[in-house]
Amino acid sequence: MNGDVILDIQGLHTSFSMTRGTVRAVNDVSFNIKSGEMLGVVGESGCGKSVTGLSIMRLVPYPGRITGGRILFENRDLLGLDEREMRTIRGSSIAMIFQDPMTSLNPVLTISRQLTEAIIEHEGCSKREAGVRAIDLLRTVGISSPERRIRDYPHQFSGGMRQRVMIAMAISCGPKIIIADEPTTALDVTIQAQILELMKKICEDIGTSIMLITHDLGIVAGLCRVVAVMYAGRLVETAEGKTIFSGPVHPYTHGLLTSTPRMDRVSERLQPIGGVPPSLLDPPRRCMFAPRCRYAIERCLREEPVLEEVSPGHAAACFRSGEKLW
Amino acid sequence: MRRNAEVKNAKVKEDTILQVNDLAVHFEGQEPFTPKSRRSVVRAVDGVSFSIRKGEVLGLVGESGCGKSTVSKAILRIIPPTTGKVLFEGRNLCALEERELRPLRRRIQMIFQDPYASLNPSMTVYQTIAELLKIHRIGERRERKDRINEMLRVVDLDPEYADRYPHEFSGGQRQRISIARALVVNPDFLVADEPVSALDVSVQAQIINLLQDLQEKFSLTYLFISHDLSVVRHISNRVAIMYLGRIVEIADTNTLFEDPLHPYSKALLSAVPIPDPELEKGRKRIILSGEVPSPYDIPRGCRFNTRCWKKMDVCFEKEPELREVKEGHSAACHLYG
């Protein structure tokens, strides 16, 4: 079963209609996740990585709308389901973890209420059974004396502990996929290490696929077998982790790596990417990275590159991906 | 008596620009969700000593709540220190009158983390920068204008933007404005509190490079505060690591990153992800159990003893002093004497 494609996203478009025009937050994005695999989706703020995650859950907020593409989960197109069918999948087969655990937990309900809600809803078991399972889940995610803590409210937990509760909630119905959107960004680095260790364990022991959305290349390097890099609503490069880090072919990926300071070595001068990310409001048909790209040629301003394979398992959306640029 | 190697070292050094001696900042407060009657004291900074040499970048790192920002604010007397001394070129800033402090405040400037909150939204870029020149009574109108335009060019902003308001700029550009404001009065010392933490990595690199260039160009000294160890390693000559209100280790950057002594430093460094899958595969992480204790209730003995994996009996009895273990490398841990 391991290694089968479990989620296949084809040509996903998600847009937000504004009075001034249309913001194309996700623009023709395709990738897949295999079972038991951890996929890293990286990019800077506004690149569309979170909206991609929300699109899979069909939770894109108004005025956003999925305007095209297919999201095949176990060979069923999620975009063709009605809301009732979608609810049986959401939280049960596909779960989500957000960046800020305080705003994703209800402050006036006990952890017990919030944790058992999904179990009762999706598994149809009694309150008592759900309670027992909830305590087990808290133990799994490393919360000590879970019998007592389960009666606490979210404010009684620290940031790291809340994120553990969120993970317990996410795995409560044995999902096939967990979408984790910046799960450790709000946490300190020593707590981040604890949470990442836990997520790795869940992926390896339970075999859950994880789509890890993050801006931190370091996190992806340590955890993800496959990495997808997004820029301005598009997927610009995807490959196995070791390929992305040792031999990126898209100038944006290369630029990200040369602008990241590293803790493990004496530093050289950073090579930043000039300029700022473009507006996604009615974007022109050209390479979105071209204005900031030092390797841009005239064609990049006229045409839009599509994601093409440069070697098996390695694809990039750049006209010059075949050349040795650096 | 609290006296450590760091302080002694600094005394013999002629070129020390700033020296912090046994600084403490305590806040009267009430721990959340406890009875009103139980008032307690937060020891945010609890006996911190270090010195900075002229032209140096000292990185001050630690996790949230360790007191690093409070140290920076106490240096500028934005928050009055409870005890301790801050000596700027030998003069104790804590003992000066506000009137005497002002000329020194010109020489010590600050930039903050959030470029959205640290610029007044109802003032143009020009007004924001000119305010500082007015306060310090520098130059006539015309001179001021030239000086501001020059400063904007220095931070790579077009002087044509001088009449725009902060909301018209991106995060990176706003941080450039903050830097221009700090440098317009020609300071010697810059306190930078998480100056790049709110920025995306591609823009962050631009600002880091700018800060490095300006340091060289104007022979500045930086106190660079950050939670990001990769950034700190990149920019600092020397690094101090704080935990729960105290410095646990201080050394030259490369020494500290290659050969950390304190168990907390070791764990902290091992927890930082490195963007290199091959390297990550072989790395051993020291996963600390538990969390940082509340600053309302600092553990007895060594304040790291609740999470330390090398703790000994003595760690519960006596608080370790920051002591020089090797030359220029101090740690506060009973493992080292």
Q: Which residues of A fall within a CB distance of 8 Å from B33?
A: 155-156
Locate the DSSP E strands across chain B. Answer: 16-29, 40-53, 57-61, 83-88, 91-92, 108-111, 189-193, 221-226, 238-243, 246-252, 323-326, 329-331
pLDDT at B260 over 50: yes
Q: What is the mean pLDDT of residues A198-205?
A: 92
Locate the DSSP E strands across chain A. Answer: 5-18, 21-34, 38-42, 64-73, 76-77, 94-97, 177-181, 209-214, 226-231, 234-240, 308-311, 314-316
Residue in A156, A194, A260 nearest the CB of B287? A194
**Domains by residue range for chain B, with CATH:** 5-336 (3.40.50.300)
> Looking at residue B6, what is its pLDDT?
46
Residue in B173, B271, B275 nearest the CB of A190? B271
Q: Which residues of A fall within a CB distance of 8 Å from B280?
A: 218, 221-222
pLDDT at A321 over 60: yes
Residue of A nearest to B198 (CA): A45
Q: Which residues of A fall within a CB distance of 8 Å from B203?
A: 272, 276
Residue of B31, B213, B234, B296 to mutate for A, most A C-beta atoms under 10 A: B234
CB contact at 8 A, B182 and B111: yes
Residue in A155, A192, A267 nearest the CB of B234? A267
Options 3.40.50.300, 3.30.360.10, 3.40.50.12240, 3.40.50.10470; CATH of A1-83+212-250+275-314: 3.40.50.300
Question: For the segment A209-229, what is each residue's pLDDT rounded down to a tens digit?
Answer: 999 999 999 999 999 999 999
Contact B288 A273 (CB under 8 A): no
CB contact at 8 A, B294 and B34: no
Q: What is the mean pLDDT of residues B117-143?
A: 93
Helix (H, G, I), strand (E, B) or coil at B81: coil
Handedness of CA A93, A94, A100, A104 (dihedral sign): negative
Amino acid identity of B297? D
Q: Give me chain A's average pLDDT, please.
A: 93
pLDDT-derived band at B2 (thresholds 50, 70, 90) equals very low
Instruction: Give which of B165, B187, B185, B174 is closest to B113, Cα–Cα.
Output: B174
Interface A:B, Cβ pairs < 8 A? 132
Cα A66 to Cα A62, A71, A245, distances in angstroms: 11, 11, 32
Q: What is the mean pLDDT of residues B294-323?
A: 94
pLDDT at B12 over 90: no
Q: What is the mean pLDDT of residues A113-128?
A: 92
Contact A155 B275 (CB under 8 A): no
Question: For the segment B42-84, what is each residue's pLDDT rounded down to a tens digit?
Answer: 899 999 999 999 999 999 999 988 999 999 999 999 999 999 9
Q: What is the ipTM of this complex?
A: 0.89
> Looking at residue B13, what is its pLDDT?
53
A 10 A CB-CB count for A279 gives: 11
**B314 contact A CB<8A:** no
> Looking at residue A100, what is its pLDDT?
80
Q: What is the mean pLDDT of residues A196-208?
A: 92
**B216 contact A CB<8A:** no
Taking the mean position of all CA atoms in its chain, how far away is CA A198? 17
> Looking at residue B154, what is its pLDDT?
96
Q: Which residues of A fall within a CB distance of 8 Å from B252?
A: none
pLDDT-derived band at B1 (thresholds 50, 70, 90) equals very low
The Cα B269–Cα B20 span in angstroms is 25
Residue of B200, B242, B268 to mutate for A, most A C-beta atoms under 10 A: B200
> Looking at residue A81, what is its pLDDT?
95
**B33 contact A CB<8A:** yes
